Structure 1
Protein backbone atom coordinates (compact mmCIF):
# COMPACT_ATOMS: atom_id res chain seq x y z
CA UNK A 1 0.00 0.00 0.00
CA UNK A 2 1.34 3.41 -0.92
CA UNK A 3 1.75 5.97 1.86
CA UNK A 4 0.27 9.44 1.76
CA UNK A 5 2.27 12.03 -0.05
CA UNK A 6 3.51 15.09 1.78
CA UNK A 7 0.94 17.17 -0.10
CA UNK A 8 -1.75 15.68 2.11
CA UNK A 9 -0.17 17.13 5.21
CA UNK A 10 -1.39 20.59 4.22
CA UNK A 11 -3.95 20.15 1.42
CA UNK A 12 -5.29 23.04 -0.58
CA UNK A 13 -8.72 23.98 0.77
CA UNK A 14 -11.26 25.53 -1.57
CA UNK A 15 -13.79 27.42 0.53
CA UNK A 16 -17.49 27.43 -0.25
CA UNK A 17 -17.57 31.22 -0.56
CA UNK A 18 -15.15 31.53 -3.46
CA UNK A 19 -16.67 32.98 -6.64
CA UNK A 20 -13.69 33.09 -8.99
CA UNK A 21 -10.48 31.12 -9.54
CA UNK A 22 -7.73 31.84 -7.04
CA UNK A 23 -5.05 31.10 -9.60
CA UNK A 24 -2.07 31.71 -7.32
CA UNK A 25 -3.04 28.67 -5.20
CA UNK A 26 -3.15 26.16 -8.02
CA UNK A 27 -0.29 24.44 -9.76
CA UNK A 28 0.02 22.77 -13.09
CA UNK A 29 -0.26 19.00 -12.77
CA UNK A 30 -1.97 16.86 -10.12
CA UNK A 31 -2.31 17.99 -6.52
CA UNK A 32 -4.20 17.01 -3.36
CA UNK A 33 -7.21 19.21 -2.61
CA UNK A 34 -10.04 19.29 -0.08
CA UNK A 35 -13.29 20.91 -1.10
CA UNK A 36 -16.16 22.03 1.13
CA UNK A 37 -19.53 21.35 -0.52
CA UNK A 38 -22.95 22.61 0.58
CA UNK A 39 -24.73 20.06 2.73
CA UNK A 40 -21.68 17.84 3.22
CA UNK A 41 -20.67 16.85 6.75
CA UNK A 42 -16.98 16.68 5.89
CA UNK A 43 -14.73 18.17 3.19
CA UNK A 44 -14.37 16.12 0.02
CA UNK A 45 -10.85 14.85 -0.63
CA UNK A 46 -9.71 14.74 -4.23
CA UNK A 47 -6.87 14.88 -6.70
CA UNK A 48 -7.09 17.92 -8.94
CA UNK A 49 -5.16 18.05 -12.20
CA UNK A 50 -4.66 21.33 -14.06
CA UNK A 51 -3.45 21.03 -17.66
CA UNK A 52 -0.33 22.51 -19.13
CA UNK A 53 -1.07 26.08 -20.16
CA UNK A 54 -3.88 26.65 -17.64
CA UNK A 55 -2.07 29.49 -15.89
CA UNK A 56 -0.74 30.96 -19.13
CA UNK A 57 -4.12 31.28 -20.89
CA UNK A 58 -6.32 33.32 -18.53
CA UNK A 59 -9.14 33.64 -21.07
CA UNK A 60 -9.37 29.95 -21.96
CA UNK A 61 -12.11 27.68 -20.59
CA UNK A 62 -11.24 24.00 -20.29
CA UNK A 63 -13.22 20.74 -20.34
CA UNK A 64 -13.70 19.09 -16.95
CA UNK A 65 -13.43 15.31 -16.52
CA UNK A 66 -14.62 13.86 -13.20
CA UNK A 67 -13.26 10.38 -12.41
CA UNK A 68 -15.07 8.14 -9.91
CA UNK A 69 -13.05 5.30 -8.39
CA UNK A 70 -14.29 1.84 -7.41
CA UNK A 71 -15.14 0.34 -4.03
CA UNK A 72 -11.56 -0.69 -3.28
CA UNK A 73 -10.27 2.89 -3.27
CA UNK A 74 -12.60 4.22 -0.57
CA UNK A 75 -11.28 5.39 2.80
CA UNK A 76 -8.75 7.91 4.10
CA UNK A 77 -5.69 7.21 1.95
CA UNK A 78 -5.99 9.52 -1.05
CA UNK A 79 -3.07 7.88 -2.82
CA UNK A 80 -5.13 4.77 -3.58
CA UNK A 81 -7.33 6.84 -5.91
CA UNK A 82 -4.31 6.90 -8.23
CA UNK A 83 -4.17 3.12 -8.50
CA UNK A 84 -6.33 3.09 -11.65
CA UNK A 85 -7.65 5.22 -14.46
CA UNK A 86 -6.98 8.86 -15.35
CA UNK A 87 -5.41 9.91 -12.00
CA UNK A 88 -2.94 7.03 -12.32
CA UNK A 89 -2.09 8.04 -15.89
CA UNK A 90 -1.75 11.70 -14.87
CA UNK A 91 0.67 10.67 -12.11
CA UNK A 92 2.69 8.75 -14.70
CA UNK A 93 2.99 11.83 -16.88
CA UNK A 94 0.02 11.77 -19.25
CA UNK A 95 -0.53 15.31 -20.55
CA UNK A 96 -4.31 15.72 -20.40
CA UNK A 97 -5.81 18.68 -22.31
CA UNK A 98 -8.46 19.15 -19.64
CA UNK A 99 -9.07 19.64 -15.93
CA UNK A 100 -9.31 16.33 -14.08
CA UNK A 101 -11.03 15.94 -10.71
CA UNK A 102 -10.74 12.60 -8.89
CA UNK A 103 -12.67 12.67 -5.58
CA UNK A 104 -12.55 10.00 -2.89
CA UNK A 105 -15.40 8.33 -1.02
CA UNK A 106 -15.38 7.62 2.67
CA UNK A 107 -15.21 3.95 3.69
CA UNK A 108 -18.39 2.02 2.78
CA UNK A 109 -19.94 5.06 1.05
CA UNK A 110 -21.50 5.15 -2.42
CA UNK A 111 -21.43 7.86 -5.04
CA UNK A 112 -24.26 10.32 -4.50
CA UNK A 113 -25.56 12.26 -7.54
CA UNK A 114 -26.34 15.30 -5.40
CA UNK A 115 -22.74 15.46 -4.17
CA UNK A 116 -21.44 15.11 -7.72
CA UNK A 117 -23.79 17.87 -8.87
CA UNK A 118 -22.52 20.15 -6.12
CA UNK A 119 -18.93 19.21 -6.97
CA UNK A 120 -19.46 20.25 -10.59
CA UNK A 121 -20.93 23.57 -9.51
CA UNK A 122 -18.16 24.25 -7.00
CA UNK A 123 -15.40 23.52 -9.50
CA UNK A 124 -17.00 25.74 -12.12
CA UNK A 125 -17.12 28.55 -9.58
CA UNK A 126 -13.42 28.23 -8.88
CA UNK A 127 -11.84 27.10 -12.15
CA UNK A 128 -12.07 28.21 -15.77
CA UNK A 129 -14.31 25.36 -16.94
CA UNK A 130 -16.38 25.19 -20.11
CA UNK A 131 -19.82 24.40 -18.69
CA UNK A 132 -20.83 22.70 -21.95
CA UNK A 133 -17.95 20.21 -21.65
CA UNK A 134 -18.34 18.59 -18.22
CA UNK A 135 -17.57 14.87 -18.61
CA UNK A 136 -17.56 11.89 -16.27
CA UNK A 137 -16.01 8.45 -16.17
CA UNK A 138 -15.65 5.82 -13.50
CA UNK A 139 -14.99 2.16 -12.89
CA UNK A 140 -17.10 -0.50 -11.15
CA UNK A 141 -18.83 1.34 -8.26
CA UNK A 142 -17.70 4.52 -9.97
CA UNK A 143 -19.17 3.33 -13.26
CA UNK A 144 -22.51 2.93 -11.51
CA UNK A 145 -22.03 6.39 -10.00
CA UNK A 146 -21.53 7.88 -13.45
CA UNK A 147 -24.77 6.31 -14.72
CA UNK A 148 -26.68 7.54 -11.65
CA UNK A 149 -25.31 11.07 -12.03
CA UNK A 150 -26.44 11.18 -15.67
CA UNK A 151 -29.94 10.07 -14.65
CA UNK A 152 -30.29 12.53 -11.76
CA UNK A 153 -28.64 15.56 -13.39
CA UNK A 154 -28.42 15.06 -17.16
CA UNK A 155 -28.06 18.81 -17.58
CA UNK A 156 -24.67 18.63 -15.85
CA UNK A 157 -22.99 16.36 -18.35
CA UNK A 158 -21.82 16.46 -21.95
CA UNK A 159 -21.00 12.72 -21.97
CA UNK A 160 -20.10 9.77 -19.76
CA UNK A 161 -17.73 6.80 -20.10
CA UNK A 162 -18.64 4.14 -17.48
CA UNK A 163 -16.32 1.15 -17.15
CA UNK A 164 -17.71 -2.16 -15.81
CA UNK A 165 -20.64 -0.21 -14.39
CA UNK A 166 -24.42 -0.47 -14.38
CA UNK A 167 -27.43 1.81 -14.28
CA UNK A 168 -31.07 1.79 -13.22
CA UNK A 169 -32.72 0.67 -16.45
CA UNK A 170 -36.13 1.92 -15.27
CA UNK A 171 -34.81 5.48 -14.95
CA UNK A 172 -32.32 5.73 -17.81
CA UNK A 173 -34.68 7.53 -20.19
CA UNK A 174 -33.95 10.65 -18.13
CA UNK A 175 -30.35 10.45 -19.37
CA UNK A 176 -31.16 9.99 -23.05
CA UNK A 177 -29.56 13.34 -23.98
CA UNK A 178 -26.19 12.25 -22.52
CA UNK A 179 -23.95 10.33 -24.97
CA UNK A 180 -22.36 7.18 -23.56
CA UNK A 181 -19.20 5.25 -24.41
CA UNK A 182 -19.20 2.27 -22.06
CA UNK A 183 -16.64 -0.50 -21.51
CA UNK A 184 -16.91 -4.00 -20.06
CA UNK A 185 -15.07 -7.28 -19.83
CA UNK A 186 -16.94 -10.26 -21.29
CA UNK A 187 -15.67 -12.50 -18.47
CA UNK A 188 -16.53 -10.11 -15.61
CA UNK A 189 -17.86 -12.14 -12.67
CA UNK A 190 -18.15 -9.18 -10.28
CA UNK A 191 -20.38 -6.98 -12.43
CA UNK A 192 -21.73 -9.20 -15.21
CA UNK A 193 -21.64 -7.81 -18.72
CA UNK A 194 -25.42 -8.22 -18.89
CA UNK A 195 -25.87 -5.44 -16.32
CA UNK A 196 -24.21 -2.77 -18.42
CA UNK A 197 -25.58 -4.21 -21.67
CA UNK A 198 -29.07 -3.74 -20.25
CA UNK A 199 -28.25 -0.12 -19.39
CA UNK A 200 -26.98 0.60 -22.87
CA UNK A 201 -30.01 -1.09 -24.44
CA UNK A 202 -32.41 0.87 -22.23
CA UNK A 203 -30.81 4.17 -23.21
CA UNK A 204 -30.89 3.29 -26.90
CA UNK A 205 -34.56 2.33 -26.61
CA UNK A 206 -35.28 5.86 -25.38
CA UNK A 207 -33.51 7.41 -28.36
CA UNK A 208 -30.18 7.94 -26.61
CA UNK A 209 -26.72 7.49 -28.08
CA UNK A 210 -24.76 4.69 -26.41
CA UNK A 211 -21.85 2.50 -27.46
CA UNK A 212 -20.57 -0.53 -25.55
CA UNK A 213 -17.03 -1.78 -26.09
CA UNK A 214 -16.64 -5.38 -24.88
CA UNK A 215 -13.26 -7.05 -24.26
CA UNK A 216 -13.39 -10.83 -24.84
CA UNK A 217 -11.75 -12.86 -22.08
CA UNK A 218 -11.30 -9.83 -19.80
CA UNK A 219 -12.68 -9.95 -16.26
CA UNK A 220 -13.58 -7.15 -13.89
CA UNK A 221 -10.38 -5.21 -14.62
CA UNK A 222 -11.68 -3.87 -17.93
CA UNK A 223 -10.40 -0.46 -16.80
CA UNK A 224 -6.88 -1.45 -17.87
CA UNK A 225 -7.66 -1.68 -21.61
CA UNK A 226 -10.46 0.90 -21.41
CA UNK A 227 -8.28 3.75 -20.18
CA UNK A 228 -5.63 2.79 -22.72
CA UNK A 229 -8.15 3.05 -25.56
CA UNK A 230 -6.69 5.62 -27.97
CA UNK A 231 -10.20 6.62 -29.03
CA UNK A 232 -11.54 7.41 -25.56
CA UNK A 233 -9.95 10.80 -24.94
CA UNK A 234 -10.65 12.12 -28.48
CA UNK A 235 -14.27 10.98 -28.09
CA UNK A 236 -14.59 12.78 -24.76
CA UNK A 237 -13.00 15.93 -26.15
CA UNK A 238 -15.52 16.06 -29.02
CA UNK A 239 -18.56 16.06 -26.73
CA UNK A 240 -20.47 19.24 -25.94
CA UNK A 241 -23.74 19.68 -24.12
CA UNK A 242 -26.40 21.38 -26.21
Structure 2
Protein backbone atom coordinates (compact mmCIF):
# COMPACT_ATOMS: atom_id res chain seq x y z
CA UNK A 1 0.00 0.00 0.00
CA UNK A 2 1.29 3.42 -0.93
CA UNK A 3 2.44 5.32 2.19
CA UNK A 4 1.59 8.67 0.58
CA UNK A 5 -2.01 7.58 0.11
CA UNK A 6 -2.19 6.48 3.72
CA UNK A 7 -1.19 9.90 4.95
CA UNK A 8 -3.26 11.93 2.54
CA UNK A 9 -5.32 14.55 4.39
CA UNK A 10 -8.87 14.94 3.14
CA UNK A 11 -11.08 17.99 3.55
CA UNK A 12 -14.55 16.69 4.44
CA UNK A 13 -17.63 18.94 4.05
CA UNK A 14 -19.91 17.59 6.81
CA UNK A 15 -23.10 19.55 7.36
CA UNK A 16 -24.57 20.48 10.70
CA UNK A 17 -21.36 20.55 12.74
CA UNK A 18 -20.92 23.20 15.36
CA UNK A 19 -18.17 25.80 15.08
CA UNK A 20 -16.24 24.26 18.01
CA UNK A 21 -14.99 21.43 15.79
CA UNK A 22 -13.03 21.10 12.59
CA UNK A 23 -13.27 17.95 10.47
CA UNK A 24 -10.73 15.89 8.60
CA UNK A 25 -9.71 12.42 7.62
CA UNK A 26 -7.06 10.18 6.12
CA UNK A 27 -7.17 7.88 3.14
CA UNK A 28 -6.33 4.31 4.14
CA UNK A 29 -6.43 2.88 0.64
CA UNK A 30 -9.67 0.92 0.47
CA UNK A 31 -11.13 2.83 3.40
CA UNK A 32 -10.78 6.14 5.18
CA UNK A 33 -10.97 7.38 8.77
CA UNK A 34 -12.80 10.62 9.51
CA UNK A 35 -12.52 12.70 12.65
CA UNK A 36 -13.56 15.76 14.60
CA UNK A 37 -10.88 17.95 16.13
CA UNK A 38 -11.19 20.64 18.77
CA UNK A 39 -8.45 23.26 19.09
CA UNK A 40 -8.10 25.17 22.37
CA UNK A 41 -8.53 28.91 22.57
CA UNK A 42 -5.42 30.70 21.39
CA UNK A 43 -4.18 27.90 19.16
CA UNK A 44 -4.46 30.00 15.98
CA UNK A 45 -2.53 32.93 17.43
CA UNK A 46 0.11 31.01 19.36
CA UNK A 47 3.36 29.38 18.29
CA UNK A 48 3.45 26.90 21.17
CA UNK A 49 2.90 23.16 21.01
CA UNK A 50 -0.23 21.82 22.71
CA UNK A 51 -1.11 18.58 24.51
CA UNK A 52 -3.25 16.17 22.51
CA UNK A 53 -6.00 13.88 23.82
CA UNK A 54 -6.99 11.05 21.47
CA UNK A 55 -10.54 9.98 22.39
CA UNK A 56 -12.04 6.74 21.05
CA UNK A 57 -15.84 6.51 21.22
CA UNK A 58 -17.97 3.46 21.98
CA UNK A 59 -19.80 1.01 19.76
CA UNK A 60 -22.95 3.07 19.41
CA UNK A 61 -21.23 5.97 17.69
CA UNK A 62 -19.61 4.15 14.76
CA UNK A 63 -20.52 4.56 11.09
CA UNK A 64 -20.37 7.58 8.81
CA UNK A 65 -22.22 10.31 10.74
CA UNK A 66 -19.69 12.42 12.65
CA UNK A 67 -22.46 14.03 14.67
CA UNK A 68 -22.71 10.77 16.59
CA UNK A 69 -19.25 11.11 18.13
CA UNK A 70 -20.53 14.10 20.11
CA UNK A 71 -22.92 11.93 22.12
CA UNK A 72 -20.55 10.90 24.92
CA UNK A 73 -17.19 11.67 26.45
CA UNK A 74 -15.13 14.86 26.13
CA UNK A 75 -16.59 15.63 22.69
CA UNK A 76 -20.02 15.88 24.34
CA UNK A 77 -18.60 18.43 26.76
CA UNK A 78 -17.07 20.49 23.93
CA UNK A 79 -20.35 20.37 22.00
CA UNK A 80 -22.07 21.71 25.13
CA UNK A 81 -19.69 24.68 25.23
CA UNK A 82 -16.94 23.47 27.58
CA UNK A 83 -13.41 24.60 26.79
CA UNK A 84 -10.30 22.45 27.23
CA UNK A 85 -6.63 23.53 27.24
CA UNK A 86 -5.65 20.71 24.86
CA UNK A 87 -6.31 19.53 21.34
CA UNK A 88 -9.06 16.90 21.31
CA UNK A 89 -8.86 14.47 18.40
CA UNK A 90 -11.94 12.25 18.00
CA UNK A 91 -11.87 9.82 15.08
CA UNK A 92 -14.90 7.76 14.11
CA UNK A 93 -14.83 3.98 13.85
CA UNK A 94 -16.29 3.28 10.43
CA UNK A 95 -17.67 -0.04 11.68
CA UNK A 96 -21.01 -0.03 13.47
CA UNK A 97 -20.57 -3.68 14.48
CA UNK A 98 -16.81 -4.07 14.38
CA UNK A 99 -13.67 -3.23 16.30
CA UNK A 100 -11.46 -0.21 15.84
CA UNK A 101 -8.75 -0.22 13.18
CA UNK A 102 -5.69 0.29 15.40
CA UNK A 103 -3.34 0.35 12.42
CA UNK A 104 -5.41 3.14 10.91
CA UNK A 105 -5.34 4.99 14.24
CA UNK A 106 -1.55 4.88 14.12
CA UNK A 107 -1.52 6.41 10.65
CA UNK A 108 -4.00 9.04 11.81
CA UNK A 109 -1.78 10.04 14.73
CA UNK A 110 1.31 10.25 12.52
CA UNK A 111 -0.52 12.40 10.00
CA UNK A 112 -2.20 14.69 12.53
CA UNK A 113 0.94 15.29 14.59
CA UNK A 114 2.92 16.06 11.44
CA UNK A 115 0.45 18.77 10.44
CA UNK A 116 -0.31 20.36 13.81
CA UNK A 117 1.55 21.88 16.76
CA UNK A 118 1.42 18.92 19.11
CA UNK A 119 3.62 18.43 22.17
CA UNK A 120 4.65 14.83 21.47
CA UNK A 121 5.63 14.35 25.12
CA UNK A 122 2.00 15.02 26.13
CA UNK A 123 -0.16 12.78 23.95
CA UNK A 124 -2.90 11.08 25.98
CA UNK A 125 -5.09 8.11 25.08
CA UNK A 126 -8.61 7.46 26.36
CA UNK A 127 -11.73 5.67 25.19
CA UNK A 128 -15.01 4.24 26.42
CA UNK A 129 -16.53 0.78 26.04
CA UNK A 130 -15.42 -0.54 22.64
CA UNK A 131 -13.15 2.49 22.48
CA UNK A 132 -11.79 1.53 25.89
CA UNK A 133 -10.76 -1.85 24.49
CA UNK A 134 -9.19 -0.07 21.52
CA UNK A 135 -7.29 2.22 23.89
CA UNK A 136 -5.86 -0.78 25.75
CA UNK A 137 -4.87 -2.43 22.47
CA UNK A 138 -3.34 0.70 20.97
CA UNK A 139 -1.30 1.30 24.13
CA UNK A 140 -0.11 -2.31 24.05
CA UNK A 141 0.95 -2.07 20.41
CA UNK A 142 2.54 1.39 20.47
CA UNK A 143 3.07 2.46 24.11
CA UNK A 144 5.92 4.77 23.13
CA UNK A 145 3.36 7.20 21.66
CA UNK A 146 1.54 8.03 24.89
CA UNK A 147 2.11 9.90 28.13
CA UNK A 148 -0.94 8.38 29.84
CA UNK A 149 -3.72 5.85 29.29
CA UNK A 150 -7.29 6.20 30.63
CA UNK A 151 -9.70 3.43 29.50
CA UNK A 152 -13.32 3.65 30.63
CA UNK A 153 -15.46 0.47 31.00
CA UNK A 154 -13.55 -1.34 28.29
CA UNK A 155 -12.83 -5.03 27.94
CA UNK A 156 -9.16 -5.93 28.11
CA UNK A 157 -6.99 -8.97 27.30
CA UNK A 158 -5.49 -9.51 30.75
CA UNK A 159 -2.81 -11.96 29.60
CA UNK A 160 -1.14 -9.16 27.65
CA UNK A 161 -0.53 -6.97 30.68
CA UNK A 162 3.19 -7.50 30.01
CA UNK A 163 2.78 -5.25 26.96
CA UNK A 164 1.94 -2.26 29.15
CA UNK A 165 5.23 -0.57 30.14
CA UNK A 166 5.98 -0.23 33.85
CA UNK A 167 6.35 3.56 33.49
CA UNK A 168 3.07 4.29 31.65
CA UNK A 169 0.55 6.14 33.89
CA UNK A 170 -2.80 4.31 33.80
CA UNK A 171 -6.17 5.30 35.28
CA UNK A 172 -9.13 2.98 34.66
CA UNK A 173 -12.83 3.69 35.34
CA UNK A 174 -15.71 1.21 35.55
CA UNK A 175 -19.18 0.84 37.07
CA UNK A 176 -20.05 -1.84 39.63
CA UNK A 177 -23.35 -2.63 37.89
CA UNK A 178 -22.02 -2.90 34.35
CA UNK A 179 -23.82 -5.90 32.83
CA UNK A 180 -22.33 -5.45 29.37
CA UNK A 181 -18.60 -5.41 30.17
CA UNK A 182 -18.14 -6.82 33.66
CA UNK A 183 -16.12 -4.63 36.04
CA UNK A 184 -13.80 -7.60 36.66
CA UNK A 185 -12.28 -6.80 33.25
CA UNK A 186 -10.84 -3.59 34.67
CA UNK A 187 -10.24 -4.86 38.21
CA UNK A 188 -8.30 -7.94 37.11
CA UNK A 189 -6.15 -5.96 34.71
CA UNK A 190 -5.28 -3.38 37.34
CA UNK A 191 -4.35 -6.15 39.77
CA UNK A 192 -2.07 -7.66 37.12
CA UNK A 193 -0.43 -4.31 36.47
CA UNK A 194 0.03 -3.57 40.18
CA UNK A 195 1.85 -6.89 40.63
CA UNK A 196 4.37 -5.58 38.11
CA UNK A 197 5.25 -2.80 40.57
CA UNK A 198 4.55 -0.12 38.03
CA UNK A 199 5.72 3.41 38.73
CA UNK A 200 3.44 5.30 38.94
CA UNK A 201 1.06 2.71 40.39
CA UNK A 202 -2.08 2.32 38.21
CA UNK A 203 -5.26 3.98 39.43
CA UNK A 204 -8.72 2.40 39.46
CA UNK A 205 -12.03 4.16 40.07
CA UNK A 206 -15.11 1.95 40.44
CA UNK A 207 -18.44 3.79 40.58
CA UNK A 208 -20.99 2.23 42.94
CA UNK A 209 -24.42 1.72 41.41
CA UNK A 210 -23.31 2.75 37.91
CA UNK A 211 -23.93 0.49 34.93
CA UNK A 212 -22.21 0.57 31.57
CA UNK A 213 -22.37 4.36 31.41
CA UNK A 214 -19.34 4.91 33.65
CA UNK A 215 -18.21 7.40 31.01
CA UNK A 216 -20.64 10.00 32.37
CA UNK A 217 -18.99 10.42 35.80
CA UNK A 218 -15.53 9.70 34.41
CA UNK A 219 -15.48 12.36 31.71
CA UNK A 220 -17.43 14.87 33.79
CA UNK A 221 -14.72 14.76 36.46
CA UNK A 222 -12.19 17.59 36.01
CA UNK A 223 -9.65 15.52 37.95
CA UNK A 224 -9.31 13.13 35.01
CA UNK A 225 -8.15 15.91 32.71
CA UNK A 226 -5.91 17.43 35.39
CA UNK A 227 -4.31 14.03 35.91
CA UNK A 228 -3.69 13.50 32.20
CA UNK A 229 -2.20 16.94 31.70
CA UNK A 230 0.16 16.40 34.62
CA UNK A 231 1.77 13.41 32.89
CA UNK A 232 4.78 13.61 30.59
CA UNK A 233 6.06 10.82 28.38
CA UNK A 234 8.81 8.96 30.18
CA UNK A 235 12.23 8.75 28.51
CA UNK A 236 12.93 5.43 26.73
CA UNK A 237 14.10 2.68 29.05
CA UNK A 238 17.28 0.73 28.44
Could you state the TM-score of these two structures normalised by the residue count of structure 1?
Answer: 0.85
Q: Could you tell me which residue of structure 1 aligns to residue 39 of structure 2? A: 50
Kindly state the Cα deviation for residue 121 of structure 1 after the two structures are TM-superposed. 1.1
Q: Which residue of 1 aligns with 2:27?
A: 36
Q: What's the offset of the Cα at 1:32?
A: 2.2
Write the distance in 2 (CA, Å) between the matches of 1:172 and 1:54: 37
Structure-to-structure mapping, 1:1-242, within 5 angstroms: 16=7, 29-37=20-28, 40-58=29-47, 60-106=48-94, 107-176=96-165, 177-208=167-198, 209-242=201-234
In structure 1, C-alpha distance between the alignment counterparts of 2:227 and 2:192, rounded to whole Å: 22
> What SS does the corresponding residue of 2:44 show, helix, strand or coil?
coil
Listed as ranges, the gaps of 5+ residues in structure 1 are 1-13, 19-27
Normalised to the residue count of structure 2, the TM-score between the two structures is: 0.86
Contact 1:140 1:163 in 2 (8 A): yes
Q: Distance in 2 between matches of 1:151 and 1:90?
A: 28
| Whole-angstrom CA distance in 2 between matches of 1:29 and 1:15 | 27
- Residue 90 of structure 2 aligns to a residue whose secondary structure is strand
On the 8 A contact 2:8/2:26 being kept in 1, the answer is: no
Residues 144, 237 of structure 1: CA spacing in aligned structure 2 closer, same or farther, 3 A cutoff? same
CA distance in 1: counterparts of 2:107 and 2:76, whole angstroms: 24
Give the distance between the partners of 1:80 and 1:44, measured in 2 at CA.
Answer: 15
